[in-house]
Amino acid sequence: MYVTLEIEEKKFVNLVKLLHLGNHIVNGNREGTREDPKIEKYDELEELILKFAFGNGHQDLVRFDCDSGRHVPTEDIELEEEMVQYIREYDECVLWDELGNLLAERDTVEEIGNEVSFL
């Protein structure tokens, strides 16, 4: 089954940016090796949409990377102040949440020992 989507040009550009942000969160910390594979279903979806964008005149958003054989966001998207800010805000939020959790776990273990199991 196929789905057809009609979308305004400006919203399509935002969709490409959102797709980049989402895949950055899912696969940005993965090496793409056998030991640390990328989540392929999201990489494939990103490739599908980026290839479509590239083929429909959005070389300002997408370029073809000969080394990987894939379409990738241009530096204009990756370095766009808004995009960088969203990633920075996410990273900072995760950092403080995780740091708080790790410190709480450390303090609990110091106080009552290793009997506590954290899920």
Helix/strand/coil percentages in the chain, nearest 5: 60, 5, 35
Residue 116: is its pLDDT beyond 60?
no
Residue 114: is its pLDDT beyond 80?
no
Q: How many residues does the chain have?
A: 119
Pick from 97, 102, 99, 83: nearest CA to 25: 83
Rounded-to-integer distance, Cα 27 and Cα 75, Å: 18
Residue 100: is its pLDDT beyond 70?
yes
Q: In sequence order, which residues have a C-beta less than 8 Å from that of residue 108 and are 6 or more positions away?
A: 116
Q: pLDDT, tens digit, for every residue of 12-61?
A: 999 999 999 999 999 988 988 999 999 999 999 999 999 999 999 999 99
Residue 118: is its pLDDT beyond 70?
no
- The SS3 call for residue 62 is strand
Q: What pLDDT, on a 0 to 100 scale, did the predictor assign at position 55?
A: 95
Residue with tokens 């379409």: 71
φ, ψ dihedrals at 115, nearest 5°: -70, -20
